[in-house]
Amino acid sequence: MAINFCKESNIFKLDTYSSTYIFGIFEGNYLVHYYYGAPIPDTDVSALWLRPWFASFCPDSPSARIPNFSPDVTPLEYSTFGAGDFRLSAFAVENSEGNKVTDLRYISHKIYDGKKSLPGLPSLYTNEDSEAQTLEILTEDKVTGVKATLIYTVFEKKGAITRSVKVENPTEKPFYIDTIHSLCVDLPGYDYDMLGLYGRWVKERSLDRYPLHHGIQSIKSKRGSSSHNHNPFTALVSKNATEDYGDCYGFNLVYSSNFSIDVEVDGFASSRLVMGINPEGFKWLLNPGEEFYSPEAVMIYTNKGIGEMSRMFHRLYSDNLVRGKWKKAKRPLLINNWEGTGMSFDHDKLVSFAHHAKDMGIEMLVMDDGWFGKRDDDKSSLGDWFVADYKLKYGLSGLIKEVNALGLKFGIWFEPEMISPDSEIYRAHPDWCLHTEGRDKSIARTQYVIDYSRKEVRDHIYSMMYKILSENNIDYVKWDFNRNLTEVSCAELPKERQGEVFHRFVLGTYEIMDRLTRDFPHLLLENCSGGGGRFDPGMLYYSPQIWTSDNTDPIERLTIQFGTSLCYPASTMGAHVSASRRASYETKKNVALWGSFGYELDPDKLTEEEKAEIKEQVKEYHKYYDVIHYGELYRLITPFENEFKVAWEFVSEDKKEALVTVVNMRQPYDSLFFLKLKALDPEKIYEIEETGEEYSGAYLMNAGLNLTHKPNGDGASYLIHLLAK
């Protein structure tokens, strides 16, 4: 069993193939954390809780009834505020007396097979109950009556544990949830590096690595989205950890709004990590009889390096987060008109796109921004989701019929959470945008954010989307989100609930995405937020792929895609060949193949030679689809460790096929280049398809390929395809 409870020692032991997680019920019904790391069979781990104790400055607990026990130095399983633990708090409520003292103690627990969904929130799931076991621990604050259920699900064969918290108010008085993190983990020592993914628009998810130090280190967002700037992911890795070696603790939050990841190293050299909703700007009123669920956090541990941690996340998300028809089905190869035309298009232009696309072997045409209302630029019409007939002379249905007649599928763009000041919907409902009375309405990209915390707003927007999608043969929706949230208050909520608006907004987004995928299960939904501004597990629950970045330059894309791959699988990364001027179409293709491949250009402007080249690229897309989408990723040379050259490799599950990609970001000083491959079968003989050369897997991994003769100029790239004999 993945979860075991020892009655004699009051120990909970959670086991995966790669890890053991142990905590227990201590004196006074405290929940105390003992161990998280490589698998161990032991259950007698009582000595692991001991920490230094510093007299009166670390207050003891009379209810623990033992000497030298203090909540301030003990590795508590789920820390609370104001009752003797001065370190980071995972949980706090403001009670009816106006104070925030919170002290949760164990009441009971239950263990069952499978996993429950979280109401209103995205979360991992099981395909069958045997995939996972769940532990629910009921805790209570005896003074206030607050109850919190700590929920753990163990995916034994995936090496993962998920955690969330359900809070209940069984009392007769309301209280506020002030802080609610989804997990709290205490680790002995602080000899770790902290990994994070930082960036900005068109430069998302670059890798940051820095040593833990005394004090608090944080990764946060308060933008109303997970954001371009920071991703809800971190890892604590041993200082000597590489792609192939070392302890790695990976953490990811299944949430698309304001998040907080904090790590505190205390004066006794212990480290505590908490992850959950950002407490800044959050305050949730819980009335008698109500309950609240925190978003789900994912934990993964391996002692086999950063690369293996990434592959564990990839397997888990591919099998237990991404859902629906397109989870495993081969996705259509698309062309999007945005970088080719912007909003300057009409019926004839898009039909011309479709004819060229058909000729080149592309399978779907996506009509981007500009098809609705009076939308000729970004100054109007968001929220007016009806067809601009002056652009589409035969209407949307007429355009789709012509595209379908060529054998192509059709996709369309929406930005359902936004509203333009110059729009029919805003003139009719000026109070529907997020705003704070008496303050300026901040504007970005000439648009406001529509208030998705309000049901009538969501229903109105969805009714227009439903009409478009139900009356037309549409196979794909690109859902965009092009600004952050400001002046976040809701005209319909009382003042005591204004701290709920950020969370209510994202719950509203999740609700509409859920309705969309349920009403139109055939749709391929691609999420976008100015590119990768909401590249997070919450979005992946609804959309199996996300537009990775608005930056389609292949050299710039390398850091973005390498960083994204730290946690997210290739199948989720939208990656297109564009008409960007730097690098050849060969390199554009080689980089874009690492992801959900497509095109973002005007085919009318291509030369005959370029069209012929794209036809060959389309063949390669189909040829390598399975090894990229279903194989395992190995980062051979990353842009974070080499300023000249990068390389990555996909290996099929049966190790009979591998695809290696090498890209020169700039010409290196040294031309000698040997590349050692990974994860092949050392006993198999592999043929390099391009040359016919044959080598053993052992040779390829230990001696490596001599690639000195390959092109090494700025922007040059090449593929190496290996097949086992």
CA-angle at 394, arms to 388 and 398, nearest 5°: 110
Identify the active-site residue in 262, 319, 451, 480. Answer: 480
The span from the CA of 167 to the CA of 170, in Å, is 10
Q: What is the DSSP letter of 445?
A: T
The span from the CA of 390 to the CA of 446, in Å, is 22
C-alpha distances (whole Å) from 71 to each of 103, 267, 353, 553 are: 10, 14, 66, 52
Query: Which pair of tokens denotes residue 432?
Result: 């529907």
For residue 664, what are the β-bridge partners?
645
CB 676 within 8 A of CB 707: no
Identify the active-site residue in 72, 85, 536, 550. Answer: 550
**Closest alpha carbon to 103 in 77, 87, 81, 88:** 81
List, in sequence order, every beta strand (DSSP E) within 420-559. 448-449, 476-479, 524-527, 545-547
Provide the edge-to-edge strand list for the sheet that holds 20-25.
3-6, 11-15, 20-25, 31-37
The span from the CA of 547 to the CA of 534, in Å, is 9
Check if 714 is active-site. no
Query: Which pair of tokens denotes residue 214?
Result: 């005394």
The single residue listed with the structure tokens 């089905």 is 329
**Closest alpha carbon to 548 in 208, 195, 203, 251:** 203
Check if 431 is active-site. no
φ, ψ dihedrals at 712, nearest 5°: -135, 20
The span from the CA of 262 to the CA of 147, in Å, is 24
C-alpha distances (whole Å) from 683 to each of 45, 721, 722 are: 42, 18, 14
For residue 4, what are the β-bridge partners?
13
Query: Which pair of tokens denotes residue 55?
Result: 């007299």
The set of catalytic residues is 480, 550
